[in-house]
Amino acid sequence: MVWVPGVGEIPLSLSTIKGRRKSITVKRYGIVSQALLKYKPGDRIFLRGPYGTGFTLTEERNLIIGGGSGMAALRPLINDKSFGMVSAKTGDELLFTHEFKENSIMIMTDDGSSGLKGFPSDYLESVDIDQFARIYACGPELMLKALYHKLKDSRPDAEFSMERIMKCGIGICDSCSIDGRQICVDGPVVRVGEINPDGEFGHQKLDISGRRIEIHL
């Protein structure tokens, strides 16, 4: 949880984990991220955590499926055997594509402005998913839901990092729950086989004031 005093606090994943060297990647979104983007070297932020579950690590070949800023959470998992399916709305929003080896990446955009047009799920059949020791995904719920349907039978061990409004981060406020599972404690990383396809995933979430709202995919 990253706290900007006087402004607010947001959950962010580490996008660099190299010994003591760590980083976060911030996208302009709400008031906290806008405040963070005004920071200058030497300004101070406050952190608490880490909280919740993490990805199951492997040194073997893994498949990394990222959408938009979701790539920030996946970046530390990239190794020299990784294959990436990296997507974004437009070519300008693609992140960390250069971290994959040549010929070990597929790029796709919603508008076709870079790489293939469409979502990673549209092209998953062109990749032999059995060759990967682990499959990781993070991105918009629209993307995860489509991937869920492609992976639930063949790779229930695939891991998704889920997103919900987080306030306390420690299992008290329930702002982050999906089907009674608190994403700050029982997630954010969940296995595909643990997701209830008939539940809230891809359908409903709580907004900032705690109202249950429909997710329009």
Q: Which is nearer to ligand FES, 8 or 91 (CB)?
A: 8
What is the distance between the alpha carbons of residues 87 and 65, in angstroms, rounded to a whole number? 8
Q: Which is nearer to ligand FES, 62 or 182 (CB)?
A: 182
The distance of closest approach from Cβ of residue 178 to ligand FES in the complex, given in angstroms and rounded to an integer, is 10
The distance of closest approach from Cβ of residue 209 to ligand FES in the complex, given in angstroms and rounded to an integer, is 14
Strand partners, 1: none
The distance of closest approach from Cβ of residue 75 to ligand FES in the complex, given in angstroms and rounded to an integer, is 24
The distance of closest approach from Cβ of residue 185 to ligand FES in the complex, given in angstroms and rounded to an integer, is 6
- CB atoms near residue 115 (< 10 Å): 19
Q: Are 83 and 64 in contact (CB under 8 A)?
A: yes
Q: Which is nearer to ligand FES, 31 or 172 (CB)?
A: 172
The distance of closest approach from Cβ of residue 95 to ligand FES in the complex, given in angstroms and rounded to an integer, is 25
- Point out which residues bind ligand FES (CB under 6 A): 166-169, 171-176, 182, 184
> What are the distances in angstroms from CA 8 to CA 120, 175, 209?
33, 16, 15
Q: Which is nearer to ligand FES, 151 or 166 (CB)?
A: 166
Q: Are 59 and 78 in contact (CB under 8 A)?
A: no
Q: Which is nearer to ligand FES, 134 or 167 (CB)?
A: 167
- CB atoms near residue 13 (< 10 Å): 21
DSSP string, 37-100: TT--TT---EE----SB-PPP-SS-EEEEEEGGGHHHHGGG--TT-EEEEEESSGGG--SGGGS
The distance of closest approach from Cβ of residue 4 to ligand FES in the complex, given in angstroms and rounded to an integer, is 18
Rounded to 10 degrees, the C-alpha dihedral 150/217/190/82 comes to 60
Q: Are 128 and 148 in contact (CB under 8 A)?
A: no
Neighbouring residues of 70: CB distance < 8 A, sequence distance ≥ 6: 137, 138, 139, 140, 143, 161
Q: Which is nearer to ligand FES, 110 or 163 (CB)?
A: 163
